[in-house]
Amino acid sequence: MDTFLGFPKDTTIIVTGAASGIGEALAKLAARQGLAVAAWDLTEDGARATAEAIAGEGGTARAYGLDVSDRSQVEAAMAQTCADLGPVHCLAAVAGPPSFKIADFDEGLSQSISCMRMPTEAWIASGPAGVASAVYLSSVQGPRYGAGVQWYSVAKSAIDGYMRSVAGMRQGGLRANAVLPDWIVTPRTSEFVEATGGTEWDVNPMGRVGLPEDVANAAMFLLSPAAAYLNGLSIEVDGGARLRSLAWMRMAEASGSAA
């Protein structure tokens, strides 16, 4: 059987934010690819539910409840993860504060970066080997749109920069990339999606809002040996929404050329 992604046997991954949405989808996908999954989440019950679902499909997973922006909690969880599952080969840093959170600018920015930085530093200190790849969840909100809640847009741009600093830090040592979703239907966004017309989205050439699995698939590829020469990239997962800006939509409507 051709295993295109090429993950070696006994590969282990940490997925933060694994209780729901993109993190849950990625954790389950990783398990289906044969990886042992450490499901990290602020909500331990949610992480446990993900781990139990993986086990129910014959996969290997352990659940850990922690705040991934807290250094002491992250270091303790990393030590326990390594004791339970062995060396950690891959890191998927998905967890972060919600975009709609009302927060002080400095607080929101600091928490967002810490959710990426703390797991990364603990992972690197643990001595990742083998695949040694990381993927970070950014967003088109900062690098492309620069709109919405100000602290969130700035934070997502900063996550891209942090990813690139990790990608270039150790020659031959590890890879790091980022996925930048546009609107994705998750428990956090479902209310907004419904309030703005549902999952069909005219501005997108695909005609729909994205699914967690769309992001998980891209992230899984970037983590895999199949992407061994991809490093420091920011991959937009948006169905081509960037091709149809608001200005384009208004011009198409005015001219009658909208499809």
pLDDT on residue 192: 73
pLDDT on residue 244: 66
Residue ranges of the domains in the chain? 12-184+210-239
pLDDT on residue 184: 86
* pLDDT tier at 250, thresholds 50, 70, 90: low
Q: What pTM does this model have?
A: 0.91
Question: What string of DSSP letters covers the chain?
Answer: ---TT-PPTT-EEEEETTTSHHHHHHHHHHHHTT-EEEEEES-HHHHHHHHHHHHHTT--EEEEE--TT-HHHHHHHHHHHHHHH-S--EEEE-----TT----HHHHHHHHHHHHHHHHHHHHHT---TT-EEEEE--TIIIII--SSHHHHHHHHHHHHHHHHHHTSSTTT-EEEEEEESSB--TTTHHHHHHTT-S--TTSTTSS-B-HHHHHHHHHHHHSGGGTT--S-EEEESTTGGGS-HHHHHHHHHHT---
Contact 124, 79 (CB under 8 A): no
Mean pLDDT over each residue of the chain, to the nearest integer? 89
Q: By C-alpha distance, which of 113, 106, 116, 181 is closest to 151?
A: 106
Q: Classify domain 12-184+210-239 at the CATH class level.
A: alpha beta
Structure tokens at 119: 């797991």
* pLDDT higher than 80, residue 109: yes
Q: Find the helix packing angle between 71-85 and 105-125, rounded to 10°.
A: 30
pLDDT on residue 242: 79
Contact 88, 123 (CB under 8 A): yes
Q: Find the helix packing angle between 105-125 and 150-167, rounded to 10°.
A: 20
* pLDDT higher than 50, residue 57: yes
- Active-site amino acid positions: 152
* pLDDT higher than 50, residue 228: yes
Q: How far apart are CA 41 and CA 20, in angstroms?
A: 9
Contact 229, 158 (CB under 8 A): no
Q: How far apart are CA 76 and CA 61, in angstroms?
A: 18
Q: What's the rounded mean pLDDT across residues 83-90?
A: 97
Q: How far apart are CA 21 and CA 139, in angstroms?
A: 15
* pLDDT higher than 60, residue 258: no
Distance from the Cα of residue 223 to its chain's centroid: 11
Instruction: Name 134's bridge partners.
Output: 91, 176
pLDDT on residue 259: 47
> What pLDDT digit, counting tens, does each position of 9-42 carry?
999 999 999 999 999 999 999 999 999 999 999 9
pLDDT on residue 246: 56
